[in-house]
Amino acid sequence: MSKLYLARDARSAVRVLDGEAMVMSGRDSTLFSLNKTATLIWQAADGQTSLDEIVERRVCQEFEVEFGSALQDAENMARELAGHGILQISEEPISQTNPLTGESQ
Amino acid sequence: MSSLIEEMGAKATALGFPLCVQIDLTYRCNERCVHCYLDHEDHGEMTTAEIKDLLDQMAEAGVFVLTLSGGEILMRKDFFEILEHARRLTFCIKLKTNAVMIREREAARIRELGVESIQVSIYSHRAEVHDAITLVPGSLKRSVDAIRFLKAQGLKVTIANVLMLPTVRDYPGVQALARDLGVEVTIDPTITPRMDGDRSVLRLGIGQSELRQAFADESLVGNVDEFCAISAPPGESELESVPCSAGHSTCYVSPYGDVYPCVQFPLPTGNVRQQRFIDIWRHSDQMNEVRSIRLKDLSSCSQCVHGASCTRCPGLAYMEGNMRGPSSQDCEKSFARTGVPSANLLSKKPSMAGLVQIRSIPVMAGVSA
């Protein structure tokens, strides 16, 4: 399976409370509530770290879950969030220019 | 989404963090609306650095929805600098503005910065009426042009309209204007007393007959029968409920750094120039007093037939003299909605004995029955 890279959408609004993120899509104001695992992946989605690294180094260590099934769940979640426009996914590392600030991310 | 927001509000209340905060960046304004509750002089607004620091503190405290309002927000020359800083902190940002200073360039920047929505005040679809409220000739055209610029950027815009005596007949025209512009409209009959306690602006508020007409209009209230139904008196769970989110999951900060439970609840709880925002939020005696109030503690409202369904505003009650008392504007609304007077209105009614007096009248000489 090829590597997958994730990057948070810069137009989204987000706040993490008690380990769980509220994310509002900058595209259509849809509001999402992420559980602790999804929040961990969201926070690590810097465009440069691959999903399997995120799952191995963050999710598996934090939650003591089996790597293969965790990766599958994480990929499903990433594709769903990408469908709502709050996450970008790519098979290559993602370099973003923040449209809010003009700064490279 | 609304149920998720409600869920978030309940979570915020349970965990004790401020989910939604409004900051008025300035009380200065380029309009002079006849019903406005603000003093438009600058008495020492927070500096850019102070506001940025406050935003940092708020993000850390867990604030998610940030409403920037005024006054007119664009009267601040550093408005976009503040907005950029706020978006870096990933707030969900809502703006309230008269939009008079928003042209294509400003609309494009607002879009780039990922603002969630913009509320624009429009008092009438007729320039002669709207401009007579704002006291600025040409203001309706400027505001409507701005709405078009914002819509052209794909932004979500809501027109805010106040039902008051000089404009009450025009709301259908404002609704039609909103449809033409492809934006939402929110219509509210609430007039707020001036922050200095002057209640004279309340004379602009609509009366019972206009309220009744408004509450019988499906375009305003949806299902009229449901809206006007008399609900059951508050039960045990309702009596234990909090009357409003003010101070529980929301609060307000003035341009001078004063923190209040809500923009419409001017109970001073602290100042961010002297204390950290989170310390005021968590430890202010006044904030905690507001939080302690349950419906059962409201002397009149807990006994009122409308107790469970009333829109009672604790801030308006506070401005009437008692934060645990009734808000007469809301009593009037409940009365207009249902035809049943609230406990508060009944207590104010002059006694029948005082009004009807029967006494014998001496028969005049020469007049016979």
Please write down the HEC assignment for all residues of A58-80: HHHHHHCCCHHHHHHHHHHHHHH
Task: Return the bridge partners of B23, or none.
Answer: B68, B253
> Per-residue pLDDT averaged across B224-234, rounded?
90
Q: Residue B366 above 50 pLDDT?
A: no
Minimum distance, in Å, between the CA of residue A19 and any CA atom of chain B = 11
The verdict on a CB contact (< 8 Å) between A14 and B1 is no
What is the pLDDT, as a whole number, of residue B362? 44
The verdict on a CB contact (< 8 Å) between A12 and B90 is yes
Q: Is A18 on the interface with B (CB under 8 A)?
A: yes
Minimum distance, in Å, between the CA of residue A99 and any CA atom of chain B = 6
- What single string gives the DSSP state of each residue in B281-316? HHH-HHHHHHHH--GGG-TTGGGSTTTTT----HHH
**Domain range for residue A65?**
5-90
Q: What is the CATH number of the domain that holds A82?
A: 3.90.930.60
Q: Are strands A87-90 and A46-50 parallel, antiparallel or unpaired?
A: unpaired
Q: Report chain A residues whose CB lies below 8 A from the CB of B116.
A: 13, 24, 26, 29
What is the pLDDT, as a whole number, of residue B365? 40
B328 Cβ partners below 8 Å, 6+ apart? B316, B320, B344, B345
> Per-residue pLDDT averaged across B5-19, rounded?
85
pLDDT band at B327 (very low <50, low <70, confident <90, very high): very high
What are the tokens at B294?
């349950």
| Percent of chain B residues topping a pLDDT of 70 | 94
* pLDDT tens digits along B231-268: 888 888 889 988 899 999 999 999 999 999 999 999 99
Q: Residue B108 above 70 pLDDT?
A: yes
Q: Report chain A residues whose CB lies below 8 A from the CB of B91.
A: 13, 15
CA distance A70 to A80: 15
Minimum distance, in Å, between the CA of residue B3 and any CA atom of chain A = 10
Q: Nearest-CA neighbor of B171 among B218, B120, B228, B214? A: B214
* pLDDT tens digits along B71-106: 999 999 999 999 999 999 999 999 999 999 999 999
Q: Is B16 left (phi over 0), alpha (psi -120 to 50) or beta?
A: left
Please state, rounded to an integer, the average pLDDT across all residues of chain B. Answer: 91
Q: Is residue A12 situated within a structural domain?
A: yes
Helix runs in A3-105, H state only: 36-44, 51-54, 60-63, 67-83
Q: Residue B35 above 90 pLDDT?
A: yes
The verdict on a CB contact (< 8 Å) between B112 and A99 is yes
The verdict on a CB contact (< 8 Å) between A31 and B91 is no
Q: Is the omega angle on the peptide bond into residue B71 within 30 degrees of 0, that is, cis? A: yes
Contact B193, B264 (CB under 8 A): no
Q: Is residue A37 situated within a structural domain?
A: yes
Q: Report chain B residues whose CB lies below 8 A from the CB of A13.
A: 64, 90-93, 114, 116
Q: Nearest-CA neighbor of B125 among B165, B76, B190, B179? A: B179
Number of domains present in the structure of chain A: 1
Contact A105, A7 (CB under 8 A): yes
Q: Residue B113 above 90 pLDDT?
A: yes
- What single string gives the DSSP state of each residue in B204-270? GB--HHHHHHHHT-HHHHSSHHHHHPPPPPP-HHHHTS-S-SBTTTEEEE-TTSEEESBTTB----E
CB pairs under 8 A between A and B: 55
What is the pLDDT, as a whole number, of residue B361? 47
Distances in whole angstroms, Cα of residue B233 to Cα of each of B293, B300, B344 = 19, 13, 15
Contact B76, B103 (CB under 8 A): no
The verdict on a CB contact (< 8 Å) between B88 and A101 is yes
The verdict on a CB contact (< 8 Å) between B5 and A24 is no
Which amino acid type is present at position B30? N
The verdict on a CB contact (< 8 Å) between B15 and A18 is yes
Q: Is residue A101 situated within a structural domain?
A: no
Angle at B230 between CA B226 and CA B231, to 5 degrees: 90
Q: Split chain A (105 residues) into runs of 10 and give each run's mean pLDDT.
A: 86 90 90 91 92 92 88 92 90 77 59
Q: Is residue A45 situated within a structural domain?
A: yes
Residues of chain B whose beta carbon is less than 8 angstroms from a beta carbon of chain A are 1, 4-5, 7-8, 11-12, 15, 17, 59, 62-64, 84, 87-88, 90-93, 112-114, 116-117, 156
pLDDT band at B352 (very low <50, low <70, confident <90, very high): very low
pLDDT band at B338 (very low <50, low <70, confident <90, very high): very high
What is the pLDDT, as a whole number, of residue A64? 82
ipTM entry: 0.85
> Per-residue pLDDT averaged across B270-290, rounded?
97
Higher pLDDT, A86 or B143: B143
